[in-house]
Each structure stands twice: as C-alpha cells, then as structure tokens.
Amino acid sequence: MSAAEYPGLPAKPGGRWKIWLAIGIIAAITAVTLAPGIGVDFSLDAILRNWRNGTEKIGQLLVPDWSFFPRTIAPLWETIQMAIIASVIGAIVSVPLSMWAARLTNPNPVTRGIVRTLLNIVRAVPDLLYAAVLVAMVGVGALPGIIALVLFNVGIVVKLVSEAIESGDPGPGEAARAAGATQTQINRAALLPDIWPPFINQALYAFELNVRASTVLGLVGAGGLGLLIDAVRTFYRYDQLSLIILEILVVVVLIDWASAVIRKRVK
C-alpha cells in the first residue's frame, strides 16, 4: 500500500485506531451512566424541586456567625498541624522510596517492581477510606488523620518524583559508577543533588493538598476541623459552617501563596 504512494516509503506506524477506540469507550461509558434506570440518577427535575430548600441554606451561609470564631481556633490549628506533620513525614519517607521506584536509581527490576506495586496499591485507596479504617484501629483523633495523610502523600510524591528521576540526566550517576561507587553512593552523592528541586516541588504540592484533605478527614473522626464541621452540620448551623469554610479558604490561599514563593526560590 505504501509502495503505491511513494517507492520505498516505510509502513505507517499503527496506533491511531487506539485513540479512536479510547474515545469510543469514554463516550459509551458516559452514555451508560446517564441512561435512566442503569446509571447515575441525574435529573434536572429533582434539582428544581429542591431549589427552595437550597436557597434558604445559602442565605444562612452568607451570614457567618463570627462569635463562633474562638471555638474554631483549636481545631483549625490541629488541622494545620496534621498537614505539616504528615507532609514532613511523608516527604522524608518518599526520598528513599522514590529512588527505589526509579530505574536510574534502582537498576534491580525485582525490588523496583515490588516497590512500584506496593505504591500503586497505596495510591489506589482513597485517603478518606484510610482515615475511616485507621479511626477504627487506633481511635478517634489526629493520629489516624496523620497516618492517612502520610500514606496519601507517599503515594503521590513517590510517583511524581520517581518519574522526574527517570527523565533526569544519567551522566553524573555514570561518572560515579565509573569511579567505583556503590548504587547507594551513586544515588546519594551524584543523583540526589539534582533531584532536590522536583522533590521539594512535589512535597509542597502534597502539603497544599493536605490542608484541604485534613479538613475533610475529621468527618470520619480523624481529628481537626472536620470533627467540628460534622458537629455544626448535624445541628444545621450553616452560619457557623460558613465561618469554618471561610477560615479554610483563607488558610488554603495563604499556604498556596507561601508554597508558591518557596517553589520559585528552589527553581
């Protein structure tokens, strides 16, 4: 066929059909999930019926109960502490794990495969599920929240950093190997210096996510603001809830800003 177009033209690489297949599958799944009876119960009708109810709640949300502020300070601080502790522990654990998971820093396919598989499992479980299970195991409080966040952080930081390692320059490592270094020495002395920037970046990104996530973990009893959110929600105190939401917003914005400043300096 290619010979007809131009003599000596090599065969076209296949693969385009895969894209079309993917598009087709996604379209089919979307159609099924929206189909009445089988899929998600999505109806405009229900939204309109509940609308009156909703506007009332939004009215309350617009008027925060400022007098509630003192009672939010301790849980808010606990949430931030959980995020900080979990980010630091997660980051420290992620350094060796990232190196075990990347080919450049761990040429052994067996140990690399084991670490990668374990991490895929860790990443597959949602953080809220970790928190719920851990609350059952170690009791209500900040500890299960911190452990859940550490697992969450390790999952994403190791994935992103090991990918950054793979795309890095193998040259310095080769020079260290040629000088008689062991793999551990190669990783520490020749490769780690150039891995710091992506590592700091991903660790800070995980920290940003942690502040948001740690507010929710309390809903299942894992400490922080979430516990308070759960309480005011059960008493329909939407004015107090809106104060909490506002506080989370301010903290998240501040932390995103601080982390952006740090990232810029690391580059």
Partner 1 sequence: MTRISPETPAGAAAAAPAPWSIRLRDATVRYPNGVVGLNKISLDIEAGEMVSIVGLSGSGKSSLIRTINGLVSLSSGTLEVGDHRMDLARGRELRRLRGQIGMIFQGFNLAGRTTVLNNVLVGRLAHTSVARTLVGAYRPRDRQLAYEALDRVGMLERVYHRAAHLSGGQQQRVAIARALAQEPGIVLADEPVASLDPPTAHAVMGDLRRINRELGITVLVNLHLLDLARGYGNRLIGLRAGEIVYDGPAASATDADFERIYGRPIGDQDLLGGAASSASTASPVSLPGEPV
**Binding residues for partner 1 (CB under 8 A):** 169, 171-172, 174-182, 184-186, 188-191, 193-194, 196-197
Our CB check for partner 1 shows the closer of 181 and 252 to be 181
Q: Could you tell me the smallest distance in angstroms from the CB atom of residue 189 to partner 1?
A: 5
Our CB check for partner 1 shows the closer of 169 and 230 to be 169
Our CB check for partner 1 shows the closer of 158 and 195 to be 195
Contact in structure between 106 and 112 (CB atoms under 8 Å): yes
Q: Could you tell me the smallest distance in angstroms from the CB atom of residue 196 to partner 1?
A: 7
Q: For CA atoms 70, 141, 246, 53, give the dihedral sign.
A: negative
Q: State how far the Cα of 178 lies from the Cα of 186, in Å rounded to an integer.
A: 10
Our CB check for partner 1 shows the closer of 141 and 172 to be 172
Q: Could you tell me the smallest distance in angstroms from the CB atom of residue 113 to partner 1?
A: 20
Q: State how far the Cα of 208 lies from the Cα of 191, in Å rounded to an integer.
A: 27
Q: State how far the Cα of 264 lies from the Cα of 261, in Å rounded to an integer.
A: 5
Our CB check for partner 1 shows the closer of 195 and 211 to be 195
The closest of 206, 167, 196 to 95, measured between CA atoms, is: 196
Helices 142-166, 109-124: crossing angle, 10 deg rounding: 130
In angstroms, what CA-CA distances link 153 with 67, 210, 245?
Answer: 35, 8, 23
The 3-state DSSP class for residue 117 equals helix
The closest of 160, 118, 145 to 214, measured between CA atoms, is: 145
Q: Could you tell me the smallest distance in angstroms from the CB atom of residue 203 to partner 1?
A: 17
Q: Could you tell me the smallest distance in angstroms from the CB atom of residue 230 to partner 1?
A: 45
The closest of 97, 256, 210, 86 to 161, measured between CA atoms, is: 97
Number of H helices, E strands in the chain: 13, 0
Q: Could you tell me the smallest distance in angstroms from the CB atom of residue 223 to partner 1?
A: 34
Q: Could you tell me the smallest distance in angstroms from the CB atom of residue 107 to partner 1?
A: 13
Our CB check for partner 1 shows the closer of 15 and 180 to be 180
Our CB check for partner 1 shows the closer of 194 and 208 to be 194
